[in-house]
Amino acid sequence: MTTGRYQEIMAQAARIMRRSTGLDYAQYASGAIAFDYERLFTDTDYDIDTAREVQSLTAVGNTPLVELENVTALVRTVAPTGRGARIFVKDEAANPSGSFKDRRASLSVHEAKKRGYKGIAAATSGNYGAAVASQAAKAGLRCVVVQEAFDSNGLAQPEIAEKTRACEAYGAEVIRLSVGPELFYVFLQVLDDTGYFNASLYSPYSIQGIETLGHELAQQMRAREGRFPDMVIATHAGGGNVTGTARGLRKAGATDTCMVAASVDLGGLHMASNYDFNRKSFTTGHTGFSMPFTTWPDRADVPRNAARSLRYMDRFVTVTQGEVLYITEVQAALEGMERGPAGNTSLAAAFALGRELDEDKIIVVQETEYTGAGKHPLAQLNLARQMGIEVRRGEPADNQPGQRIVIPEHPAQIQVADVDLEQVRRSYLHNALASIPGDAQLSDTDYDFLAAETRIPRHRMEEIIDELRRET
């Protein structure tokens, strides 16, 4: 990588994005910071019915809703009398590549095919790469996946190696990078050199693909139980999962369902740190992604992120690595469902939150993911030990990210920690102000946009903004 080439590509980012997405993001901007969020979705022409029709063409969606009767029974053994909500899972492992990411990929690949693109590209180290590769193979399109795969010593996480294998099995070219700031540059270079469609995780196509998940689970629960779920829990990383599911629930009429975001607490570990990269064990669904993307979503590979989770979450909780690994074992042993730990972040949260709710309440864990050699808990624990991280049984509160993974000895030890959403909203506003020139004046449109972003009454939001400006 030469300095000149880097500067050339980065200077052309807006042009490359317009060509690679078919969307002119500039037309949605107004004021100092606002943009027309809903029109961004409207202009793609994928309503729920259209999205579901497109997904059905490649056997995406229509996944089973499964009641975890044995897990629920276990919850009730450690819950107060009369407590212990029924727990269901939406088994997204039934999708073609084994995760809900097929829903995201299906619309992007369909759009690329419709617009005449010869191929499709994605920047991801997660399940999304396999999903895009799978859908591209079905559509007869070329595919390039750019991955952050290993640290500077060449050590790759087994989960990422498994996802590399899956992408290549579907015929994709995989460009593997060491962790660092060059990911966006390399991805832009790929888009510029190939002219391929940008299957960004954060485009409206991607989010609308997930809307079908929320809509579908709401319809399934209504048909089965005669009502919508009381709570839906989604594993939270970049925010697309929460955003799309919540939007789908609302479109199905489930406006009173509590939307909970759940992340693995990896506080203190930086998502882009070479040193921390292989000390995380989890590649997604953790606070290294969820906190930055919640407090400032416009940090992705499109100009304005369609995943804006703070708009939609009613509650934000964290669990520990050990609790997720424990509940993964429980799910396999009690329900005969061996699923990957990343998706089970939300199941660990459901186990704890189920103890808070009455027995007649219903929790839906929004998704599962397939497991495999590299995605199995043992592979993740072996990597942890290789990195010098202590692994033991005990009290999960003793967990220390990057230093110690503590697996519970008893189900009663599974707990959640609530994230202070008021502080998160304040952090968002701080980042919003930092993104605009200091002398810029916020318009009514800007204030309305920020109120929608944070779900703070406008008058209170204006007070917080004044406070933040005085602090700086």
167-206 burial string, b = 16+ CB within 10 Å, else e? beebebbbbebbbeeebbbbbbbbbbebebbbbbbbbbbb
Indicate the residue among 203, 220, 239 that finishes a domain.
Answer: 203
Q: What is the DSSP string of 191-257?
A: HHHH--EE--TTSHHHHHHHHHHHHHHHHHHHHHHSS--SEEEEE-SSSHHHHHHHHHHHHHT-TTS
Residue 209 included in any domain: yes
pLDDT of amino acid 336:
97
Q: Do residues 427 and 401 share a domain? A: no
Q: Measuring CA to CA, which residue among 103, 82, 84 is closest to residue 93?
A: 103
Residue at a domain's end among 381, 400, 418: 418
User: What domain range includes position 240?
Assistant: 55-96+205-418
Residue 44 lies in a domain: no
| Cβ atoms 372, 92 nearer than 8 A | no
| Same domain as 214, residue 140 | no
The pLDDT value given to residue 182: 85
Q: Which residues of the chain are under the pLDDT cut of 50?
A: none
- Amino acid identity of 214? G
What does the alpha-carbon distance between residue 185 and residue 67 come to, in Å, rounded to a whole number?
A: 44
Does residue 47 belong to any structural domain of this protein? no
| List of residues 6+ apart from 143 with CB closer than 8 A | 119, 120, 121, 122, 132, 133, 136, 137, 167, 170, 171, 172, 173
Q: Does residue 457 sit in the same domain as residue 323? A: no
125/78 same-domain check: no
Distance CA 342, CA 234 (A): 11
Q: Of the candidates 374, 396, 418, which is a domain's last residue? A: 418
Q: Is the distance from CB of 206 to CB of 106 less than 8 angstroms?
A: no
Pair (135, 12) in one structural domain: yes
Residues 407 and 430 in one domain: no
Q: Is 394 inside a domain boundary?
A: yes
Residues 380 and 281 in one domain: yes
Does 174 fall in a domain? yes
DSSP-derived secondary structure letter, 143: E
Nearest to 84 by CA among 101, 68, 66: 68
Q: Report the C-alpha gap between 197 and 113 in whole angstroms.
A: 9
Question: In this structure, is residue 169 part of a structural domain?
Answer: yes
Number of separate domains in the chain? 3
- Whether residues 179 and 240 share a domain: the answer is no
Q: Are 67 and 123 in contact (CB under 8 A)?
A: no
Q: What is the pLDDT of residue 2?
A: 64
Q: 264 with 411, same domain?
A: yes
- One-character DSSP codes across 346-414: HHHHHHHHHTTSBTT-EEEE-------TTTSHHHHHHHHHHTT-EEEEE-GGG-BTTTEEEEESSGGG-
> DSSP letter at 91?
-
Judgement on whether residues 215 and 335 belong to the same structural domain of the protein: yes
pLDDT of residue 1: 52
The terminus-to-terminus CA distance of the chain in angstroms comes to: 38
Sheet holding 86-90, edge to edge: 65-67, 86-90, 362-365, 231-235, 258-264, 315-319, 417-418
The verdict on residue 43 lying in a domain is: no
Tell whether 346 and 287 lie within a shared domain. yes
Residue 358 bridge partners (DSSP): 83
Write the CATH number for 192: 3.40.50.1100
Do both 64 and 158 map to the same domain? no
Residue 26 lies in a domain: yes
